[in-house]
Structure 1
């Protein structure tokens, strides 16, 4: 079978599509015929050897996939022919892939394979961030940075599904429009966002900031928080280094900064990812969660898809189509 592999950790420009042996599932694994692969930030970091996991090359990329079950343990409740989405630290960017039963989810009929491949990492991260880390309550206001990207649009939709008001922050008007189409109530430009957000909230500020950008927006994000507000640190896509916080600001304003490390938490707790998936299903059925798909690519173009994402040329979640 064909798989997209990192042979040397020299970046997405040097990925190789190679013929590799078909995987043989273990007793607690599901074999999936992959139809679509979600293009994810961890794939980019893995290709450069910059991710917290450092598998020995050669290895296959691929964090999010959707496809059809080939075989599954009887205890999983899955059977050959079932449509599924799945997530793993890496290894899904191939024509066939194996996943632990805890990481495979039945895909609702209302969603395509492309949409299924856009769901697991981004939407489970958003659910973890908002529910577990923020303790988001209905009626609260959430500010989302990088709101037109994959994690951003996922966070918008999950926050709306939980009954929040959502303010999107984006670098261009095109991205603002995209974020509102994904479900945001309001969208403001990154430049001067603090003043815009304070005006929208009549000086009160927001209850939760979800920050996948980091860098220079961090301090103004803190200043946007209402009393008892929570700033969630999800990532550092800006590439400007890791920001620091003066803790007296937290004390004076009664606000929190909270880390969001979904993978290290969820994947270490048997059954947790399925609990999260169950929380998403009513949102999918209600139409609040429907992943917006940006660009689509072939298997041979996964490297280009990662470069496009890295250079912020894409909106929503990019997807590689295998079949």
Structure 2
């Protein structure tokens, strides 16, 4: 355990209040340009710091961890997802990993519902018509979308966020169905009036809307592959506010172009910023820049969790949000 003030490197800009508090407590080096650090800079930062405050844009694999040296003892992720981190290798090298779980549940669930409404009610098309001044007035057949009340919503991943989506969907009059690695407790099913499907294939084939709310792990990579996407009804919609890697993006693009799906709402993408250009051209697709958790309140709460994790570690205790491989 290092003595004195911990040396902390923060890889991206954080809310001003969070950075100010970090600077009060620790010897901190910030990233004023807020640009993604190349691997060479990340390696240098890891060699010279006790703690690295990372984000989902930092790919910290076994090769990078091998360059970290002996000083780095904690990677405090600013965010709940840790699929950008090789947690197992970090643990083998004596580096603890923490994250910020449970903070963005409501924010992400809100964005899921926003995408469902945006796609089914053709909100971006209406917005584009108003911004381009091409709207010629109300018409009985213009911008016809679909009513979501009574529709079947299939939630893939019934954790905190999936359950929050289910509560919102029920308020909109939707029928809630779900597939999960483990069936949730009976009282949760009763509260949410949710129907469990052991078979993902059978569920997606019967849903009007599918919402991706599971993390990215080796088991969920391309869980919605070309075969499963083809099982969905042609009038169905898929939304994703979780991780882009869960959907085969090329297969999704082909299906949308071929009319095999009615639409998609995406906040995350399989290859980060490198989005399939054909996907951008489709009118029945709503694309957002990974803003599901982007609320001021959420970012401040995430920062508070990062600080608590580092402070607890500095005091010689286990960070309250420590991540271990068995959790993934």
- For Structure 1 versus Structure 2, the TM-score category normalised by the shorter chain is 0.3 to 0.5
Q: Which structure is larger by alpha-carbon Rg, 1 or 2?
A: 2
TM-score by length of 2: 0.43
Which structure carries more strand by proportion? 1
